[in-house]
Structure 1
Amino acid sequence: MDLFTHDAKSAPLAERLRPRTLAEMVGQEHLIGEGKILRKLIEADQAASIIFWGPPGTGKTTLAQVIANTTRSRFVFFSAVMQGIKDVREIVQKAREEKAYHGRKTLLFVDEIHRFNKAQQDAFLPHVEKGDIILIGATTENPSFEVNSALLSRSRVFVLQTLSPDDIRLLLTRALQDDRWPEGRGLQVDPDALDFLAGQAQGDARVALNTLELAASTAGADKRITLQILQDVLQKKPLLYDKGAEEHYNVISAFIKSLRGSDPDGALYWLARMIEAGEDPLFIVRRLVIFAAEDVGNADPRGLQLAIATMQALQFVGMPEGRIPLAQAVTYLATAPKSNASYRGINEALAEVRKSGSLPVPLHIRNAPTGLMKELGYGQGYRYAHDYEEGFAPQQHLPDQLQERQFYRPNDRGYEKIIKERMSHWANLAHPLPRGPKETAQDDEGKSHQQDTHES
């Protein structure tokens, strides 16, 4: 590695066990899985300037080194914290020599590129455009705001995602069998200790591996790492929360019932319990999406929008910052007006379908693409709603046997109160109250005119 050297044996475990090939990488399947875009670029040696954006410990530096190894490029590590733009000239000169004498490309990896201001980032532009270097920048900040627009336009941005507990567990298991860490041979890690570390690492591979190394140094002669050892190393006690057993379901039940009970304090507490215990945040947000549709529903349609936005925000920023949009969604949904009318409606409709089977579609709302179908009465008498006042045309849409059934019954809370009033108004249009003979005659004349217009 250029620009600095170190004793490999004294380097932290995460550095010593850094993956060297795509096959050794864990996570980021959306980028480097079989057939994915970044993998194709790397294997075809077509990787140009790149910006890697993602939380710490997700593999930004590692991916850059894997690209260099796979394409047999010279890898130069450049730290925006430790080095300055003046060092760029020396790097570029060396890159030109490597290209001229050895036909070897230079991959310049700029760690924490967001720490350079926009003017300093300009220093890389001419060398990128001339092809002297392939620039790969790494940042934990949004490159739209932190990277010079000219540099951004010449680079492809790839978003790295937080590693899952399963990813971390796989990394730890591999570490115990890796020849680059002979001290790990023979180590026994209790399953509950492995699960605890995988959850507490918060998706950061560096934290997980370096913690494992520290725990190994405190293990006894039996070379066994127990849950107690990891608790002592991390200075954290595991909460009673077994993802596969009763307490997991108790906590998520308490969380949902706090939301349904419009108690934001209770909901935040159970959210904190899950976060602190290492629950997968995407599991939490999936439950929020379901809750927004099932328990808030049309009483506040924005609830589902916010839940989906929270999922996107979580994937965007990762943890631990992801706790902030999670908290926003939880407090919003807890304090939103509630309705399960849509949820009850689909359940009742499904029960009816299972009971009555495939009832015939009324002729007037059937599709009539052929002349024969029209002759058979398909579509005959259909009322096109937009031809009618208020965009509403009373007509039958349910099968004959179910004409009087009502599946969706909105309540009087939130926006659903407006929906209920609108449906009541439509019902009055469809079934008006009895009126005098003169009013009835006028209405009949108007309806006849509307029907003639539609048929023409």
Structure 2
Amino acid sequence: MEPDLFTAAAEERQATDPSSSPLAVRMRPRTLDEVFGQKHLLKQGSPLRRLVGEGAGGPAGASSVILWGPPGTGKTTLAYVVSQATQKRFVELSAITAGVKEVRAVIEGARRASGGYGKETVLFLDEIHRFSKAQQDSLLPAVENRWVTLIAATTENPYFSIISPLLSRSLLLTLESLTDDDLRGLLHRALTEERGLGGAVTLPQDAEDHLLRIAGGDARRALTALEAAAGAAIAKGEEEITLETVEETVDRAAVKYDRDGDQHYDVASALIKSIRGSDVDAALHYLARMIEAGEDPRFIARRLMISASEDIGLADPTALPTAVAAAQAVAMIGFPEAALTLSHATIALALAPKSNAATLAITAARADVQKGLAGAVPAHLRDGHYKGAAKLGHAQGYVYPHDVPGGIAAQQYAPDEVHGRQYYTPTRYGAEARYADVVEKVRERLNGQG
């Protein structure tokens, strides 16, 4: 089987009838200069520029490139641009549907093309993280012998999802979500250029803003929504894509939410305060508003992690691990699936018992330090692992807690200036009730009363 035949047929159909391809495909950049976003990868002299033969030093030496970033940030686009700029064959496979058999067929086709008529091949492998270790191993000979230029795309952390031998032979490029300005430029180009909509319709500000919210930094999503809305407007004989038309075609009401203004902070504040107040339904409402407005899921996850320590603490020691796990999952999977993870964490935090004791404790301790109550470390607690420490009295008289029954040694730990001050006052809520009993007994033992 020669997978490139399908690619060639698709390209020929697009060349003869461009309108047969989706708008996102038609607007795919043809050069690096046409790419929106990823400015950190596109500056002059960057590895990506050198990969296509631009700048001093010529093509970069890597025989494999790994593109890591959220959906719709241009991974497929960059692979296509590299193939066009270097005039190489472009073969695209998805790890979701392809296996070792298909990969070997591409590699064999690349070897024939290279030997037969000197044409090198770019193999773009999407979703490489879905390949098993054995499947990824099958790529190594082609990479090492440079039979193909492998460009692999992943939405998951490559240090966890890609085998070390392949990673060490690759140029790793991290892509970022497109900004609103990037997407705005992309929409304007799609509206005006002949390969796009060719000026058939216009897009007023409110409709454009809604498209940006829907896109959430995803170029493919933005162009797909624009194409659907433009088609609906043209079908109705309208020359303008109204907000109502956008709402009808994407089946999503406009959410009043300015990610750079007061609404951003107001809704985020309401989410956290609803969690703090244990109103799970209100919390889910504000979470839904943030998601529908295109809020960065990583921002939401960070707020949940803060809430877990600030408002729950030791009343439920599982709250912070739950929030951290949610943040890690969000970073790995992105939207739309990340909405499920954020819902999971929000519900868990809203229904957890609450305590701000950890927050009050560190606030009080920091306040004392800021007042200058930061005296010398007691001599018996100082480091004694160096010559001359004993002469200075350092570490002398220290009682090793593991040598004492109960594991608590009655000795002074805090500097004189704050000795006896109590910062942590546990509540009797949830699991912290146990800590309330423990801390009372521990303090008695430390003072030699137990």
TM-score normalised according to structure 2 size: 0.74
Q: Are the aligned partners of 1:341 and 1:410 in contact in 2 as well (CA < 8 Å)?
A: yes
Identity among equivalent pairs (%):
43
The RMSD of aligned alpha carbons is: 4.9
Give runs of aligned pairs for residues 59-98 of structure 1, distance below 5 A.
59-77=74-92, 95-98=110-113
Provide the residue aligned with 2:446 in structure 1.
430
1:238 aligned residue (244, 247, 254): 254
* Per-residue deviation, 1:327: 1.2
The letter of the residue matching 1:103 is: G
- Is 1:200 the counterpart of 2:214 in the alignment? yes
**Residue segments in structure 1 that go unaligned for 5+ positions in a row:** 435-456
Q: SS where residue 429 of structure 2 aligns?
A: coil
The letter of the residue matching 2:220 is: R
* Per-residue deviation, 1:268: 1.9
The letter of the residue matching 2:80 is: Q
Give runs of aligned pairs for residues 17-416 of structure 1, distance below 5 A.
17-26=27-36, 44-48=59-63, 56-77=71-92, 95-109=110-124, 132-134=147-149, 163-166=177-180, 169=183, 171-172=185-186, 175=189, 181=195, 189-213=203-227, 215=229, 218=233, 227-367=243-383, 374-416=390-432
- Classify 1:263/1:393 alpha carbon distance in 2 versus 1 (closer, same or farther; 3 Å): same
Provide the residue aligned with 2:3 in structure 1.
none
* Per-residue deviation, 1:345: 0.8
Q: Are the aligned partners of 1:55 and 1:318 in contact in 2 as well (CA < 8 Å)?
A: yes
Cα-to-partner distance string for 1:234-279 (whole Å, 9 max, x where unaligned):
3432122233444433332332122112232332222122212222
Cα-to-partner distance string for 1:355-393 (whole Å, 9 max, x where unaligned):
235433333333456667654544443333233223222
Provide the residue aligned with 1:3 in structure 2.
9
- Classify 1:183/1:321 alpha carbon distance in 2 versus 1 (closer, same or farther; 3 Å): closer
Cα-to-partner distance string for 1:287-312 (whole Å, 9 max, x where unaligned):
10100111111222221111111111
* Per-residue deviation, 1:89: 9.7
- More deviation, 95-104/195-204: 95-104
Q: Are the aligned partners of 1:169 and 1:198 in contact in 2 as well (CA < 8 Å)?
A: yes
Inter-partner Cα distance in structure 1 for 2:362 and 2:135: 58
The letter of the residue matching 1:106 is: T
Q: SS where residue 345 of structure 1 aligns?
A: helix
* Per-residue deviation, 1:127: 7.2
- More deviation, 108-117/423-432: 108-117
- Classify 1:177/1:293 alpha carbon distance in 2 versus 1 (closer, same or farther; 3 Å): same
- Classify 1:35/1:166 alpha carbon distance in 2 versus 1 (closer, same or farther; 3 Å): farther
Q: SS where residue 75 of structure 1 aligns?
A: strand
When the two structures are aligned, how many residues end up with a matched partner? 433
* Per-residue deviation, 1:282: 1.4
* Per-residue deviation, 1:340: 1.1
* Per-residue deviation, 1:60: 3.6
Inter-partner Cα distance in structure 1 for 2:429 and 2:45: 49
TM-score normalised according to structure 1 size: 0.74
Provide the residue aligned with 1:12 in structure 2.
22
Inter-partner Cα distance in structure 2 for 1:127 and 1:376: 65
